């Protein structure tokens, strides 16, 4: 009886998005807050590489840590890492001043790729996504139309876009429109 | 019909003939024609009727400044665009267009009677005539005037096209791809940095397209243009956008531009958007928007066949179309001579040149003589004749400002040139200041407010060499064959032969404003150009006075005997040219219009016939009708089933905030009115939050998961606001607290189970939590697993029944719901929506923040003093609670109402009175905040805010509703199970 329940990430991708937009399977995500003066000690104790600067990200294996605020980090990794991470945070709680909140199901992630990617993102996101101004490895919390997103660049034409679950269909709707309008471009 | 084309002239593609229809008649054209050039090629000058007087009108211009030739562009249902300028509409094979503002036809328009009764329509006529009888205005005059006046009818079908929008960024944005803009683009793109060059026309070149005789750096103009565009295209940092109009210039170099994508395409079957709105952020903006030739204001200057000299130039050189067989020119500026010479060189008969000035330069006289052109100096045109097209003009000799002699000159086209007006619209949008150039009789850019420069004619720089050199920013010195641009005078007004009050010399062609209207406005006391504009409507048409503003200004200045600068200048506002709503919406239609947030269980609710309602950005199931039930029947059933057995409710939209850190409890203690420090982990407490004003702002159940860890819930609509306020206090007021907030609203799907069988339902699925009454009492929270996934299980109740709120990670929400729903069949489980939730809580007297409170209600007002920690030193809003008016007697207080007639459900919002016998106006003593039929109690119930309500228990109040005044008794707020025994049903 105690079987796993079916996962539903609230998003279905139309075929036209193939190759442009991919939905990541469920990830482990934590919102990490660490008292700035304990950052270095926390890194050492946790072996989680917290970037020193807002807008930077670190990549360890398949684990990505984004710094999106003065003491605010988003950690994204595979499901397999969840249990060990949860144990680690429990262990560190009380020893360091920090907060770790599981937001694995709060967000969904899209991988956006292809030559038209920046144009597609710029349909709803007002940021300058040129390589000079938004280089590979940059991350930011921003907006796509009226939805909050976290955007980071993984390659010249590859981005990851994180958004809250209920905003995802709204954003995907824009991507579908864009791909339809620019078919064969 | 003879075509008025010159075979060796123009850039149209003669190898690609096409057909189009205007007013039902089929005409031929060439690829590259505008509707205007194509019609003129057939000798069609009459294309519309004027706004007020229904006078016949033709083409004045060849570009976007055209005030007269507005047509309806008809691509079938849902694709009809009125008021399109024929001069900018590209002809394609099969294009259909109609003329506007005429009935029954363009040549026989009944509305033309207005022209005879012009005395009824002076400036501001709607304030003067048609005033009596007063009642006629709404029903007779206004509808009739609206019908008679105006432009094309607004489309009524839903727009069949799709639209798009896009942000863009560049280091340099160049607006206008005439000689100045192209020179600027060549210079800018040599350096690193992205360059965007935008032009509203379908091909780049601007004035160069009309001046093929120019030679730039020893290369003929069109060849130079082709070479330059090839260079720009080859540069990776350059984006070229044709058919793109920059419509507005906003703060921080943010500009809006609309690209027309399919309006010129025959085939509409593609998925391409019709238009795309570019939202451009530019480092630097270079405005190279050129200048617009100014008409001259004289009697009957609106007759078809009277047009700007530059327009004739463009029709000849760009489209290979001659606008007449015998052409006259009326000018006050040298620049028009180039046009008349070009026309003469093309073999067109010139009827003569009428020049206002007493003298013109020797060079011009010699060039005219060589072409046998007569120049009449010190002469004006004092009128024109002809029915639907000019057939002659009246030339009048002027001496000492008076007409001394007048004679007729036959012509079929009269060109006019009143000088040039720099296009400062965008610079003006950007809030740059302007300065007056007396020699141009025009305003030019002065101090910029953004990082912007103006180059070329829009900066008051004329003459091709100067324009291009300025465009290049001095980096390139251009050599051209053209002579000096020349100069002119600004006459503003001319003497007339007859009664000046009867002369119709048009200033604003599109709104039918004449010189006498402006003079009348001034005589009636309007001294500022802003007032003159609004009174006469000059410059207020869709062209925003592109051809008329400066003429109007100069006429007004002359009438008040003041320099132009003292009369001012009207403000330019976006958009630069009329813009479709579709472009402005930019694809944000349908599902893209705004976010509709859906819970994990939304799909299930939809599949099960739920009726939804919007709650903040969310859509929530309101009720689940079965077999033709209406809302009342469904809600009654849902309520009874829940109270008797079991109901399941989607509470996922409740705001959730994770509060973690060593100072979490202290933070909670300061944010909420209740005491938190001693709440034990594993326990819950109802939390009440006030604003600084002491009024109730939000509420929710809060569970303490660990010493340093709270799971906070908020109202659905209040979630973003509460989170923001908490963050604000955390960051700015109490930075010393080590605590962090994370929104987890969407992390958790929340299933609320209410009813005596709630525990029985979940028992088999729950692991790691002892559900017994002793181990898991009301207002407790436990962590464990349900159906194999982790859960935060709350034992809480918003219904008064035994209740659980099951939090599971959101992606599991639907699957768990389905599992519980199937298992709940043996308890006759019912899904219920927000409506039943509202009834169940009202039966228990639980308030809903935002429904029973309205932002002016204190905890004491709603009988919730118990939620205030009496021993607490401080919390947000505490100080306000001791303000005199918050403590005062006579505040409205929350009470229950029971109507005498139990079947009457009061209207929410209905006012309460104490005495129905009181004469009107009666004293309102309160209002109904919540009102329902309670199936459980088999009667109606209501909550109300009433003055001194707590002291009124068991007294009567009256509620006037449509048709009748109802009597009700004030009661306690709790209508059902006042002792809360049902919470603990085993």
B590: nearest CA partner in chain A: A173
B816: nearest CA partner in chain A: A5
Q: What is the mean pLDDT of residues B216-239?
A: 97
The reported pLDDT for the residue numbered A2 is 42
Q: What is the mean pLDDT of residues B32-52?
A: 94
**d(CA A62, nearest CA chain B) in Å:** 22
Residue B367: enclosing H or E segment and its boundaries? helix B362-370
Contact B744 A166 (CB under 8 A): no
User: The complex's ipTM?
Assistant: 0.97
Residue B283: enclosing H or E segment and its boundaries? strand B275-287
Please list the residue range(s) of chain B that carry CATH number 3.10.20.440: 13-111
Residues of B in contact with A165 (CB under 8 A): 600, 746, 810-811
pLDDT confidence band for B127 (50 / 70 / 90): low
**Could you read off the pLDDT of B849-876 as tens digits, one per residue?**
999 999 999 999 999 999 999 999 999 9
Residue B931 in contact with residue B907, Cβ under 8 Å? yes
Q: What is the mean pLDDT of residues B271-296?
A: 97
- For residue B512, the SS3 value is coil
Where is average pLDDT lowest: B47-51, B205-209, B237-241? B47-51
End-to-end CA distance of chain A: 51
Place of tokens 């292809």: A114
The reported pLDDT for the residue numbered A4 is 72
Cis bond upstream, residue B921 (ω within 30): yes
User: CA–CA separation, B5 vs A184, rounded Å?
Assistant: 40
**Could you read off the pLDDT of A109-150 as tens digits, one per residue?**
999 999 999 999 999 999 999 999 999 999 999 999 999 999
Residues of A in contact with B764 (CB under 8 A): 1
Query: Using the 8-state DSSP alphabet, how is residue B731 labeled?
Result: I
Q: Is B844 exposed, middle or buried (0-12, 13-18, 19+ CB in 10 A)?
A: buried
- Structure-block tokens of residue B218: 């020893």
End-to-end CA distance of chain B: 98
Bridge partners, residue B299, by sequence: B505
Residue B559 in contact with residue B518, Cβ under 8 Å? yes
According to CATH, the superfamily of the domain at B500-562 is BFD-like [2Fe-2S]-binding domain (1.10.10.1100)
B786: nearest CA partner in chain A: A2
Which position has the higher pLDDT, B985 or B522? B522
Query: B335 Cβ partners below 8 Å, 6+ apart?
Result: B293, B309, B310, B417, B420, B462, B485, B486, B488
- For residue B907, the SS3 value is coil
According to CATH, the superfamily of the domain at A28-104 is Heterotetrameric sarcosine oxidase (3.30.70.1520)
The reported pLDDT for the residue numbered B2 is 64
Place of tokens 């210039």: B249
- Structure-block tokens of residue B204: 């780049």
Which position has the higher pLDDT, B593 or B269? B593
Bridge partners, residue B577, by sequence: none
B854-864 exposure pattern, b = at least 16 Cβ within 10 A, e = fewer? eeebbbbbbbb
**d(CA A71, nearest CA chain B) in Å:** 10
- Structure-block tokens of residue B318: 């760009």
**d(CA A174, nearest CA chain B) in Å:** 7
> Who among B598, B748, B787 is closest to A2 (CB)?
B787
Note whether A9-26+106-185 and A28-104 share their fold. no
**Could you read off the pLDDT of B404-454 as tens digits, one per residue?**
999 999 999 999 999 999 999 999 999 999 999 999 999 999 999 999 999
For B889-986, CATH number? 2.40.30.110
Q: What is the mean pLDDT of residues B597-607?
A: 98
pLDDT confidence band for B362 (50 / 70 / 90): very high
Helices (H), B419-548: 425-429, 464-471, 515-523, 529-536
CA A161 to each of CA A110, A157, A171, B600: distance values in angstroms, whole numbers, following the listed order: 5, 13, 10, 20
Residues of A in contact with B811 (CB under 8 A): 7-10, 26, 105, 165
A26: nearest CA partner in chain B: B811
B273: nearest CA partner in chain A: A181
Place of tokens 């209508």: B975
Domain assignments of chain A as residue spans, ordered by start: 9-26+106-185, 28-104
Backbone angles phi, psi at A12, to 5 degrees: -120, 130
The reported pLDDT for the residue numbered B150 is 66
Does the B13-111 domain belong in CATH 3.10.20.440?
yes
CATH match for B293-419 among 3.20.80.10, 3.40.50.800, 3.40.190.10, 3.50.50.60:
3.50.50.60
Residue B903 in contact with residue B937, Cβ under 8 Å? no
The reported pLDDT for the residue numbered B754 is 98
Q: What is the mean pLDDT of residues B738-763?
A: 98
Size of interface A-B (CB pairs under 8 A): 144
Q: Is the pLDDT of residue A184 over 70?
A: no
Query: B473 Cβ partners below 8 Å, 6+ apart?
Result: B184, B187, B453, B455
Residue B792 in contact with residue B703, Cβ under 8 Å? yes
Place of tokens 């024929």: B86
The reported pLDDT for the residue numbered B121 is 72
Cis bond upstream, residue B575 (ω within 30): yes
> Who among A100, A166, A181 is closest to B162 (CB)?
A181
Q: Is the pLDDT of residue B594 over 80?
A: yes
The reported pLDDT for the residue numbered B133 is 78
Listed residue (B419, B420, B410) closest to B328, CA to CA: B410
Q: Is the pLDDT of residue B149 over 80?
A: no
Q: Is B502 exposed, middle or buried (0-12, 13-18, 19+ CB in 10 A)?
A: exposed
Contact A105 B273 (CB under 8 A): no
**Could you read off the pLDDT of B610-647 as tens digits, one per residue?**
999 999 999 999 999 999 999 999 999 999 999 999 99
Residue B377: enclosing H or E segment and its boundaries? strand B375-377
Query: Using the 8-state DSSP alphabet, how is residue B564 labeled?
Result: H
CATH match for B163-292+420-486+587-594 among 3.30.460.10, 3.30.360.10, 1.10.3720.10, 3.50.50.60:
3.50.50.60
**Could you read off the pLDDT of B239-262 as tens digits, one per residue?**
999 999 999 999 999 999 999 999
CATH match for A9-26+106-185 among 3.20.20.70, 3.40.190.170, 3.30.1360.120, 2.60.40.1250:
3.30.1360.120
Query: Using the 8-state DSSP alphabet, how is residue B799 labeled?
Result: S
Contact B167 A125 (CB under 8 A): yes
Residues of A in contact with B164 (CB under 8 A): 123, 177-178, 181
Rg of chain A taking only CA atoms, in angstroms: 17
Bridge partners, residue B444, by sequence: B435
**d(CA B236, nearest CA chain A) in Å:** 13
Residue B516 in contact with residue B493, Cβ under 8 Å? no
> Who among B744, B788, B812 is closest to A7 (CB)?
B812
CA B395 to each of CA B87, B295, B336: distance values in angstroms, whole numbers, following the listed order: 29, 17, 18
- Structure-block tokens of residue B819: 């599992």
- H helices, E strands: number in chain B: 24, 50
Residue B795: enclosing H or E segment and its boundaries? strand B789-795
Contact A103 B272 (CB under 8 A): no
A 10 A CB-CB count for B71 gives 24
Query: Using the 8-state DSSP alphabet, how is residue B862 labeled?
Result: T
User: CA–CA separation, B157 vs A25, rounded Å?
Assistant: 43
The DSSP annotation for B95-117 comes to EEEE--S-SB-SSSBGGGHHHHT
- Structure-block tokens of residue B168: 């863009």
Residue A119 in contact with residue A174, Cβ under 8 Å? no
User: CA–CA separation, A161 vs A167, rounded Å?
Assistant: 12
**Could you read off the pLDDT of B666-720 as tens digits, one per residue?**
999 999 999 999 999 999 999 999 999 999 999 999 999 999 999 999 999 999 9
Residues of A in contact with B708 (CB under 8 A): 93
Query: A76 Cβ partners below 8 Å, 6+ apart?
Result: A27, A28, A29, A63, A64, A65, A66, A109, A162
**Could you read off the pLDDT of A140-164 as tens digits, one per residue?**
999 999 999 999 999 999 999 999 9
User: CA–CA separation, B198 vs B178, rounded Å?
Assistant: 10
Q: What is the mean pLDDT of residues A62-82?
A: 96
Listed residue (B331, B373, B302) closest to B60, CA to CA: B302
Q: Is A48 exposed, middle or buried (0-12, 13-18, 19+ CB in 10 A)?
A: buried
- Structure-block tokens of residue B966: 């109802």
In three-state form (DSSP H/G/I as H, E/B as E, the rest C), the secondary structure along B125-184 is HHHCCCCCCCCHHHHHHHHHHHHHCCCCCCCCCCCCCCEEEEEEEEEEEEECCCHHHHHH
Bridge partners, residue B505, by sequence: B299
Q: Is the pLDDT of residue B526 over 70?
A: yes
The reported pLDDT for the residue numbered A1 is 39
Listed residue (B97, B111, B78) closest to B33, CA to CA: B97
Residues of B in contact with A170 (CB under 8 A): 591-592, 595-596
Contact B660 A100 (CB under 8 A): yes
Q: Is the pLDDT of residue B464 over 80?
A: yes
**For the whole model, what pTM was predicted?**
0.93
User: CA–CA separation, B132 vs B137, rounded Å?
Assistant: 8
A 10 A CB-CB count for B681 gives 13
> Who among A5, A129, A170 is closest to B815 (CB)?
A5
Q: Is the pLDDT of residue B484 over 80?
A: no
The reported pLDDT for the residue numbered B500 is 80
Q: Is the pLDDT of residue B512 over 60?
A: yes
A 10 A CB-CB count for B551 gives 30
């Amino acid at each position: 009886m105690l079987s796993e329940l079916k996962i539903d990430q609230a998003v279905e991708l139309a075929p036209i998005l193939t190759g442009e937009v991919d939905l990541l399977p469920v990830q482990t995500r934590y919102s990490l807050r660490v008292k700035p003066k304990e950052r270095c000690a926390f890194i050492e104790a946790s072996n989680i590489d917290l970037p020193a600067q807002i807008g930077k990200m670190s990549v360890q294996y398949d684990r990505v840590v984004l710094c999106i605020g003065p003491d605010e980090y988003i950690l994204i990794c595979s499901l397999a890492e969840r249990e060990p991470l949860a144990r680690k945070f429990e262990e560190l709680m009380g020893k360091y001043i920090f907060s770790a909140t599981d937001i694995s199901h709060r967000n969904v992630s899209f991988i956006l790729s292809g030559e038209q990617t920046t144009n597609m993102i710029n349909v709803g996101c007002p940021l300058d996504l040129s390589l000079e101004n938004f280089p590979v490895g940059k991350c930011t919390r921003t907006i796509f139309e009226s939805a909050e997103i976290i955007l980071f660049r993984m390659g010249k034409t590859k981005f990851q876009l994180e958004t809250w679950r209920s905003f995802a269909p709204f954003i995907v709707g824009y991507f579908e429109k864009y791909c339809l309008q620019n078919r064969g471009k | 019909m003879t075509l008025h084309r010159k075979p060796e002239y123009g850039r149209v593609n003669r190898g690609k003939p096409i057909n189009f229809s205007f007013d039902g008649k089929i005409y031929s054209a060439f690829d590259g024609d505008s509707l205007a050039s194509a019609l003129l090629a057939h000798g069609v000058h009459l294309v519309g009727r004027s706004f007020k007087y229904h006078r016949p009108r033709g083409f004045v211009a060849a570009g976007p400044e055209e005030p007269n030739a507005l047509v309806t562009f008809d691509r079938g249902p849902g694709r009809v665009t009125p008021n399109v300028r024929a001069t900018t509409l590209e002809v394609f094979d099969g294009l259909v267009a109609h003329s506007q503002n005429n009935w029954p036809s363009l040549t026989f328009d009944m509305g033309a009677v207005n022209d005879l009764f012009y005395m009824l329509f002076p400036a501001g006529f709607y304030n003067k005539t048609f005033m009596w009888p007063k009642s006629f205005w709404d029903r007779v005059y206004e509808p009739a005037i609206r019908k008679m006046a105006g432009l094309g009818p607004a489309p009524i079908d839903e727009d069949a096209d799709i639209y798009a929008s896009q942000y863009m960024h560049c280091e340099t944005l160049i607006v206008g791809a005439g000689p100045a803009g192209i020179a600027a683009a060549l210079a800018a793109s040599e350096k690193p940095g992205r360059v965007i060059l935008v032009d509203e026309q379908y091909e780049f070149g601007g004035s160069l397209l009309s001046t093929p005789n120019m030679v730039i750096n020893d290369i003929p103009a069109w060849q130079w243009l082709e070479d330059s565009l090839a260079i720009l295209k080859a540069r990776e940092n350059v984006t070229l956008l044709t058919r793109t109009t920059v419509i507005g210039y906003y703060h921080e170099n943010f500009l809006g531009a609309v690209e027309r994508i399919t309006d010129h395409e025959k085939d509409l079957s593609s998925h391409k958007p019709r238009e795309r709105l570019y939202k451009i952020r530019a480092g630097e903006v270079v405005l190279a928007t050129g200048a617009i030739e100014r008409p001259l204001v004289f009697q009957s200057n609106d007759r078809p066949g009277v047009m700007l000299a530059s327009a004739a130039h463009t029709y000849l050189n760009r489209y290979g179309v001659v606008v007449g067989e015998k052409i006259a020119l009326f000018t006050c500026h040298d620049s028009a001579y180039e046009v008349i010479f070009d026309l003469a060189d093309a073999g067109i008969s010139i009827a003569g040149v009428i020049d206002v000035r007493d003298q013109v330069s020797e060079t011009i006289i010699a060039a005219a003589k060589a072409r046998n052109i007569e120049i009449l100096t010190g002469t004006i045109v004092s009128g024109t004749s002809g029915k639907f097209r000019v057939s002659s003009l009246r030339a009048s000799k002027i001496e000492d400002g008076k007409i001394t002699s007048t004679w007729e000159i036959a012509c079929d086209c009269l060109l006019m040139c009143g000088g040039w007006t720099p296009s400062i619209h965008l610079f003006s949008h950007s809030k740059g200041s302007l300065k007056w150039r007396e020699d141009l009789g025009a305003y030019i850019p002065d101090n910029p407010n953004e990082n912007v420069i103006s180059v070329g004619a829009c900066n008051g720089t004329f003459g091709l060499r100067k324009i291009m050199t300025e465009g290049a920013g001095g980096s390139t010195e251009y050599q051209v064959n053209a002579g000096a641009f020349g100069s002119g005078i600004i006459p503003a007004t001319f003497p007339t032969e007859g009664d000046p009050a009867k002369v119709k010399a048009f200033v604003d062609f599109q709104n039918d404003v004449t010189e006498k209207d402006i003079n009348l406005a001034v005589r009636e006391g309007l001294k500022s150009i802003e007032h003159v504009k609004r009174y006469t409507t000059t410059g207020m048409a869709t062209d925003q006075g592109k051809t008329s503003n400066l003429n109007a200004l100069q006429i007004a200045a002359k009438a008040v005997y003041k320099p132009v600068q003292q009369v001012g200048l009207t403000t330019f506002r976006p958009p630069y040219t009329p813009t479709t709503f579709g472009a402005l919406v930019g694809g944000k239609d349908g599902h893209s219009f705004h976010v509709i947030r859906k819970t994990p269980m939304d799909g299930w609710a939809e599949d099960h016939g739920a009726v939804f309602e919007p709650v903040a950005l969310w859509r929530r199931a309101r009720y689940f009708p079965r077999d033709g039930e209406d809302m009342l029947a469904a809600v009654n059933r849902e309520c009874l089933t829940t109270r008797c057995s079991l109901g399941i409710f989607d509470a996922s939209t409740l705001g959730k905030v994770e509060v973690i850190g060593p100072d979490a409890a202290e933070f909670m203690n300061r944010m909420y009115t209740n005491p938190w420090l001693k709440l034990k982990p594993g326990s819950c407490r109802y939390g009440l939050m006030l604003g600084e004003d002491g009024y109730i702002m939000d509420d929710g159940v809060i569970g303490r998961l660990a010493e340093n860890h709270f799971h906070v819930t908020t109202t659905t609509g209040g979630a973003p606001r509460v989170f923001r306020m908490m963050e604000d206090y955390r960051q700015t007021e109490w930075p010393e607290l080590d605590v962090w907030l994370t929104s987890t609203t969407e992390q958790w799907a929340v299933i609320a189970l209410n009813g005596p069988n709630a525990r029985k339902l979940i028992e088999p699925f729950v692991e790691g939590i002892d559900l017994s009454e002793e181990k898991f009492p009301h207002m407790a929270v436990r962590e464990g697993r349900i159906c194999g996934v982790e859960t935060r299980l709350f034992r809480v109740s918003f219904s008064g029944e035994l209740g659980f709120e099951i939090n599971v990670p959101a992606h599991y929400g639907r699957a768990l719901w389905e599992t519980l729903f199937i298992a709940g069949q043996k308890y006759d489980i019912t899904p219920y929506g927000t409506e039943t939730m509202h009834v169940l809580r009202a039966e228990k007297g639980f308030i809903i923040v935002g429904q029973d409170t309205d932002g002016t209600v204190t905890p004491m007002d709603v009988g919730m003093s118990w939620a205030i920690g009496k021993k607490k030193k401080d919390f947000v809003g505490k100080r306000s609670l001791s303000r005199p008016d918050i403590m005062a007697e006579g505040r409205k207080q929350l009470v229950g109402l029971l109507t005498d007639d139990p079947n009457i459900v009061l209207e929410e919002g209905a006012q309460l009175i104490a005495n129905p016998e009181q004469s009107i106006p009666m004293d309102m003593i309160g209002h109904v905040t919540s009102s329902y039929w309670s199936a459980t109690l088999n009667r109606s119930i209501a909550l109300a805010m009433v003055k001194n309500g707590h002291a009124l228990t068991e007294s009567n109040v009256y509620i006037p509703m449509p048709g009748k005044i109802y009597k009700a008794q004030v009661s306690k707020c709790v209508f059902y199970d006042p002792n809360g025994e049902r919470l603990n049903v085993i």
